[in-house]
Structure 1
Amino acid sequence: MKMKVGVGGTFNVLHKGHRTLLDRAFESGDEVHIGIMSDEYAEANKSLLVPFERRREMVESYALNKGVEFTIIEIGHPTELAATDPTLEVLIVSPETSTRASKINDQRRLAGLAPLKIITIPYVLAQDFRPISSSRIIRGELDEEGRLLRPLKVCVGTANQVKVEAVKDVLRKIYREVDVDSTEADSGVGLEPFGDDVLKGAIARARASLEGFDLGIGIEAGIQQGDDGLYDVQQCAIIDNMGWITHGHGPGFRYPPSIERELRAGRSVGEVVDEMFRLERNGHKGGAIGLLTDGLLKRKELTEQAVIAAMVPRIRLDLYRV
C-alpha cells in the first residue's frame, strides 16, 4: 500500500526552504499531494502575490525530477486538504505552520479520521540567520538560495578596536559584504573575569550589541585555571535575531609564575604586564602574548581564532542546524 504524504504552501517563490520541504515530502512516501494556496486566499493573506498558474508551474517543474508520483491541488484554506483526506498519512510542515498541523489533527479526530504523522522541517536560514521567505526575496533582500543582496550588519560589543578589526578580518573572508560597527557593552563580570564568567561576559556583550543588527558579537578575555597554572583565554559569543547563540574560544597561553602570583593577589593583567614589561612595551601593540612570545603571536591573532571558533556552526549550518 502506498504511503501518501501531504505538503502545502503558497510558493510565491520556489526558494531553498520550499525545496527542502518538498524534498522531505518526496523522501517520506510513495505519493505526494501538494496543496498550493488559491489566488483568492493568497490575495487576502499575503502582501505580495505571484499568480497561481505561475506558482503551480514552478512546483510542478521541480517535482517532475523527483521520480515520485505526485498530485498538485489548488486549495482555498491551509487545512482544506490535510484535514479531510482519509488517504493521507503524513504531513510535512515548517516551524511556522507546526501549530496549524496540531489543529488539523484535531479536526481529523472530530471527523473520525486517523491523525497524521507530523514531520517538522527546521527553518532554512539565509545568510543573516533569519528564515528564507518568498516575501524577503521579492523585496530584494535575498536570492532564492538565501544569499544576502545587502551587507551583513554586525555589531561588536566593545570599544577595543583590536577586537573590532579582528572581527572585520574574519567575517570579510566569509561574506561578500559585511558592515561591522561597535558599541560599548557591559559584560557584567568585572574587569578580570575568571572561569565560567569569561563566557558569561562574552554572551552579555553579544546580547547588548544585537539590536538593529543581524549579529551581535561579544569577545571577553579572562583567566582559566589549568592543571599547571593560570591561562589567558579569549571567549567569543555570537547571537542572531532568532536567539541562536554560538560560541568558541581561541588558544590559551599560560601566564608565567611571577604574573600568576600578582593575579592571585588581586591585581589586573594590564597593570601587572605594564609594570613587568614597561621598557619592552613601549610602542608594542601585540598585547601580553606579543611580549611573551617576542612578537611571534599577537593578541589580534588570538581574537581572530576565537571569532572563527564561534563562527564554525554558522559556516556549516547543514551540520549544526539539523
Structure 2
Amino acid sequence: MKVIVASKNPVKINSARNGFNQMFPTEAIEIEGISAPSGVSDQPMTNSETLQGAKNRAEFVKKEVPDADFWVGIEGGIEDTSDGMEAFAWVVILSKNQKGQSRTSTFYLPPKVRELVLQGVELGHANDQVFEEHNSKQKGGAVGSLSNGLLGRTEYYEQAVILALIPFVNKKLY
C-alpha cells in the first residue's frame, strides 16, 4: 500500500504512518512525504479555512503522484472564539474513489500565544517564543508544550488519521 503525505514535516508523516499501521495491521505500507501547498493562509484562522487547506494538500499530492493508493492532507489551524483561541487540525484522506476526513480534538491556547497569533505570528513561532523552544511544530507543538509532553503533535494527529480512515475500512457502510 502506497501512501503519500502532503508534507515533509516528520510529525505529519509519522502520524500518518502510525494511523495507517494501526488501521491496516496486515498490510505492507510505504509512506512518502511530499511538500504541498495548502492554498490557504500560512496560519489558517478558521475551521473552514483549515479544512480547505487539508483538502487542497491531499488533492495536490494526488495529482503529483497518481499511482499511490492513498493521499493524506493534514492542516493545523485555529479559531478565535468568545471563549478563547481554539487550536485543532483537519485530516483529509483520499483514495482513487473515496474520501475520509476527521478533525482533531480542540484545546485552548494561552493568552500570550493568542496575542502573538492575532498580531500575525504563526502558531508554531508564537509557541516557540512563549515556551522558549525551537521548531516546536516539527516536534511536540503547542499541544506538547501545554500538556507537559503527555500528548505530542504526532499522537494528537494520529487519532484523527485513524478516524479519517474509517470509511476505508468500512467500505460497505460508506
Provide the TM-score with structure 1 as the length reference. 0.49
Deviation digits for residues 255-290 of structure 1 (CA, Å, limit 9, x no counterpart):
012211221122211221111111xx3697322111
Matching of residue 248 in structure 1 with residue 102 in structure 2? yes
Correspondence 1:307 to 2:161: yes
List runs of 5+ in structure 1 lacking aligned partners.
Answer: 1-151
Contact preservation (8 Å) 1:156, 1:216: yes
Q: Tell me which of the two structures has the higher relative contact order, counting C-alpha pairs closer than 8 angstroms and 6 or more residues apart.
A: 2
Rate the CA distance shift 1:173–1:204 in 2: closer, same or farther, 3 A. same
In the alignment, structure 1 residue 187 sits paired with structure 2 residue 42: no
How many matched pairs?
166
- Counterpart selection for 1:207 from 59, 62, 73: 59
Find the counterpart in structure 2 of residue 229 from structure 1: 84
1:225: how far off?
Answer: 3.5
Aligned-residue Cα RMSD (Å) equals 1.7
By how many angstroms is 1:226 displaced? 3.8
Instruction: Summarize the Cα distance change of 1:299–1:316 in structure 2 as closer, same or farther, 3 Å threshold.
Output: same
Q: Distance in 1 between matches of 2:134 and 2:13?
A: 23
Equivalent runs, 1:1-322 vs 2, <5 Å? 152-175=1-24, 176=26, 177-195=28-46, 196-210=48-62, 211-242=66-97, 244-278=98-132, 281=133, 285-320=139-174
Q: Confirm or deny: 8 A CA contact 1:205 1:219 kept in the other structure.
A: yes
Alpha-carbon distance in 1 for matches of 2:172, 2:152 = 33
In 1, the alpha carbon distance for the partners of 2:80 and 2:2 equals 35
Partners of 1:159 and 1:288 lie apart in 2 by: 19
Deviation at 1:224, TM superposition (A): 2.4
Given that 2:127 and 2:142 are in contact with CA atoms closer than 8 Å, whether structure 1 keeps it comes out as: yes
Check conservation: 2:102, 2:161, Cα contact below 8 A: yes
Q: Larger helix proportion, structure 1 or 2?
A: 2
- Measure the CA separation in 2 of the matches of 1:265 and 1:239: 35
Gap runs ≥5 in structure 2: none
Deviation at 1:227, TM superposition (A): 4.2
Given that 1:249 and 1:305 are in contact with CA atoms closer than 8 Å, whether structure 2 keeps it comes out as: no
CA 1:282–1:225 in structure 2 vs 1: closer, same or farther (change >3 Å)? closer
Seen in structure 2, the aligned counterparts of structure 1 residues 282 and 198 have a Cα distance that, compared at 3 Å, is: closer
Look up the SS of the partner of 2:173 in the other structure. Answer: helix
What's the TM-score once normalised by structure 2's chain length?
0.89
CA distance in 2, matches of 1:282, 1:158: 19
Amino acid aligned to 2:10: Q
Per-residue deviation, 1:298: 0.7
Alpha-carbon deviation of 1:245? Answer: 2.1
